[in-house]
């Protein structure tokens, strides 16, 4: 395993990550920890899918809502020959290009500004990653239908959405109410998806749900100031991956296969 990928393989290491800090320019430790947990869980999922023989085709992959491009890079490091990252935000694509775009034969990574709802349905992929995107789209039904066209038979998709039935989001909702703050559209989007709605979005054929998991069971603002935070965060991460706690995590993950 190369040095870049190794940095994101420790599910118990929540210390500062130079690579992450450089890419995302974190303003606070809270955002940094929220993001790290999701990245570590994605890497762990990929390792398990490959080891179990569930993920076997590595020709092409797409990272929908690629943000600054890190996940696309990680996907490439897992052996995909051609990786495409798309995002609607042009400045983010510019950052992704400057950090990770590559024309190297056998492990190319390309980024483009695209709306996921209008994705080219003629292009096929062996793997799809779509993390924290669906809840922000205008036509969610159309976007979900897109997956049916672009995911190859036998291909794998990892989809993540926020889970309103979680301690962190319940506290956030209460905080807004107590302070009489107005919910902006982004927060409304985040509070619109309980875990079972995420599962139901993909209950129809050709999808087969092969795994579900989650991360961040109880980390919220200021927890990092509590004595023993590192131990608490390790427990937080570990519990979020098992039944029934995974259904109460802030970020809910499903793994689908096109049967």
76 confidence band (pLDDT: 50, 70, 90): very high
DSSP H stretches of helix in the chain: 3-6, 18-24, 29-51, 70-77, 90-100, 140-150, 167-179, 185-190, 195-201, 229-239
Of residues 168 and 32, more confidence is placed in 168
Of residues 67 and 16, more confidence is placed in 67
State both tokens at 110: 């390309």
| 29-258 CATH | 3.40.50.150
Q: For residue 109, give the 3-state DSSP assignment.
A: strand
pTM of the model: 0.94
Alpha carbon distance 130, 112 (integer Å)? 15
28 confidence band (pLDDT: 50, 70, 90): confident
Q: Per-domain residue ranges for the chain?
A: 29-258
């Amino acid at each position: 395993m190369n040095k870049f990928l190794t940095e994101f393989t420790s599910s118990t290491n929540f210390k500062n990550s130079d690579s992450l800090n450089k890419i995302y320019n974190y303003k606070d430790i809270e955002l940094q920890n929220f993001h790290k947990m999701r990245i570590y869980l994605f890497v762990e999922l990929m390792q398990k899918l490959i080891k179990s023989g569930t993920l076997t085709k590595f020709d092409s992959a797409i990272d929908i809502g690629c943000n600054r491009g890190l996940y696309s890079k990680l996907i490439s490091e897992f052996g995909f020959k051609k990786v495409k990252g798309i995002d609607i935000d042009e400045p983010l694509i510019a950052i992704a290009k400057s950090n990770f775009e590559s024309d190297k034969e056998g492990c190319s990574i390309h980024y483009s500004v695209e709306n996921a709802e209008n994705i080219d349905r003629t292009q096929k992929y062996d793997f799809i990653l779509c993390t924290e995107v669906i809840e922000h789209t205008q036509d969610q039904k159309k976007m979900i239908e897109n997956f049916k066209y672009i995911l190859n038979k036998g291909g794998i998709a990892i989809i993540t959405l926020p889970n309103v039935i979680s301690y962190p989001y319940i506290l956030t909702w209460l905080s807004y109410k107590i302070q009489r703050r107005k919910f902006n559209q982004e927060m409304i989007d985040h509070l619109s998806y309980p875990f079972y709605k995420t599962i139901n979005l993909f209950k129809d054929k050709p999808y087969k749900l092969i795994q579900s998991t989650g991360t961040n069971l109880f980390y919220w603002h200021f927890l990092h100031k509590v004595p023993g935070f590192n131990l608490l965060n390790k427990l937080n991460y570990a519990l979020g991956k098992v039944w029934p706690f995974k259904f109460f995590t802030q970020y809910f993950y499903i793994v689908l296969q096109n049967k």
